[in-house]
Amino acid sequence: MKYRLQANEHRPAIQVIQFGDLPTIKCFPGQLNQVFMNIIANAIDMFDEMAQTQSFKELEANPQIITIRTEVISNQVHINIRDNGKGMTQEVQGKIFDHLFTTKTVGKGTGLGLAIAHQIVVEKHGGSLNVWSELGQGTEFTVQIPV
């Protein structure tokens, strides 16, 4: 997804900050990769949408950032993926993992990505996938997988 993070004519490059080491865990890495890519792709889509209503200079003054933090807490791996974008309402947060729910325009989203991501984390890995968001502050997804 590196090419999607690069600067384009509408916005500067999106910064990705990563920190934390994790132990090796038993999992389906391809499926978890799909979960992470979906969350990050949604953040990039949101940043691209924001770039339609803000000038390049405004975006340079307030860099778009995706932060990925990993840690082990109480025998669970936590992967937190946070953006500093526009955030979501409580209503949207309540539906975000529903099958066929999307906030994207027709032809842009299927409403399957986060529903499938939730299924992969919960059913295939015995973990949890949660979202926290505040309008104007950004969104954070937390993936928790047992070690």
| Beta-sheet strands, E only, within 12-75 | 15-19, 65-73
Rg of the chain in Å (alpha carbons): 15
* Assessment of whether the complete model's pTM goes beyond 0.85: yes
Residue 114 near residue 42, CB atoms below 8 Å: yes
pLDDT, one tens digit for every residue, the chain (147 residues): 788 899 998 899 998 888 888 888 888 999 999 999 999 999 998 999 889 898 989 999 999 999 999 999 999 999 999 999 999 999 988 888 888 767 765 566 655 689 899 999 999 999 999 999 999 999 999 999 998
CATH of domain 12-146: 3.30.565.10
pLDDT of 147 reads: 86
**Dist. CA 136–CA 17, nearest whole Å:** 20
The upper half-sphere exposure of residue 86, i.e. CA atoms within 13 Å in the direction of its Cβ, equals: 17
Query: Where exactly are the structural domains of the chain?
Result: 12-146
Burial class (CB in 10 A: 0-12, 13-18, 19+), 57: exposed
